[in-house]
Structure 1
Amino acid sequence: MSPDPESHTVPIRVLIVDDQPLVRSGFSMLINSQADLGVVGDVGDGAQAVALVDSLAGRAEGPDVVLMDIRMPVMDGLEATHRILSAHPGVTVVLLTTFDLDEYALDGIRAGASGFLLKDAMPEDLLAAIRTCHRGDAVIAPSTTHRLMQRFIDPPKPQAPADPRLDELTPREREVFELVGHGLSNAEIMQRLVLSEATVKTHVSRILAKLQARDRVQLVVIAHESGIL
């Protein structure tokens, strides 16, 4: 597998957090095989992850992206995600889930994780997710993230009050927001609305600011919870 075309002079630093040594070893070999990625550590539970990120904060070997398992002993990935992102907002967290068992993945996204992957994802999907999240976007493939949210978000109550932040959106921003909520990428939104890439990016940036959302994943959460889909 070749590295992403947008290679980095300094490799993206990745911390692997999983209670299974074989999983950590496999991920490490895959990530270290890429010229633009590098593993700075691997630990077996959330408490160790929090301690390591704290100790490396501000140092050259501090992680850019944390691959975080959800179900672990001592401290699970959800609590660890909350603690890491509360103290170090510049770090990106990608949750790892078995999907059928991890019913709390949505809580991790609400805590600020930039997305999640199935543990049996293809290697190229894992590598792409690391690069995508490091660029400030989110992993939100309709085949994974969207289905998980549909499964675990309660249907909105008919009389539930509307989110007042939605009133701040212009009609065009509302259109873009709804398409993001359905899991469409910028390229797909460009085609659907016949807009330029720069225009779509501008709309998404403004929507993120107006809805006070960290990334596209949280926009999907807001779209579902507000009942606009």
Structure 2
Amino acid sequence: MIVACWNAAWHSSRSWQGKAISQRILASGAEIVCIPECQGELLEGEWHVARSETNYGYPIVPGRSKVTLWSRNGWRDIERTASRGMPGGRFVAATTATSLGAVRVIGVCVPWYAAHVSTGRRDRRPWEDHIAYLKALAPPSASSLPLIMLGDFNQAVPNRRAPAEAVSLLETALADLTVHTSGVVSGLSRPSVCHIASTRPFVAAKTIGIAAETERGPLSDHDGLIVEFDLRVPA
């Protein structure tokens, strides 16, 4: 099972950047895709979509979603709020069928450190919304289904730049998962702030990055991530 994640920086399928991102994702053969900052129907073909709530605190633009999940199969049990106190419009969870069985998928877009500081509502201090989001993003509850959590966490893993509280809260949220995109992923020259993590019995057979930089210019301000999952065989 191949899973992809790429923050598209609001590029639509009509832009050359959006077309290139779409082509690279489709070429990976992904069954599940998370696209933070998605504008419209970025992926072509027979996909099923689960989106976060429209209102994420900034002016609403038709067709924009802070988090969009795409699956080759249908979604069920869709949730758009993790818990009270989480900044809105940045979370979606749903269940889908895959080649490795049913999977619960959580898509996130953690606010960047300056969310609503000098833009938007301008009523926040640096890291305030980021920390509030992570406080509400509790460790996933026990489930009979394996879990994949992915999206834009706006922190590298490991992280030496963010405030200690933000680092600790992210570690807590990911405590029961394996982060397959920590450090510098193969194919990239820098740590990613987007991530793909999972619970058992999933293991990463391969993890690769797709650099956003091209000869024509950057496709996004984030690099793409691809993880090929397999099942851990009991000893």
The structure with more radius of gyration: 1
Higher relative contact order (CA 8 A, sep 6+): 2
**TM-score where L is the length of structure 1:** 0.29
User: Comparing both structures, which one devotes a greater share of its residues to strand?
Assistant: 2
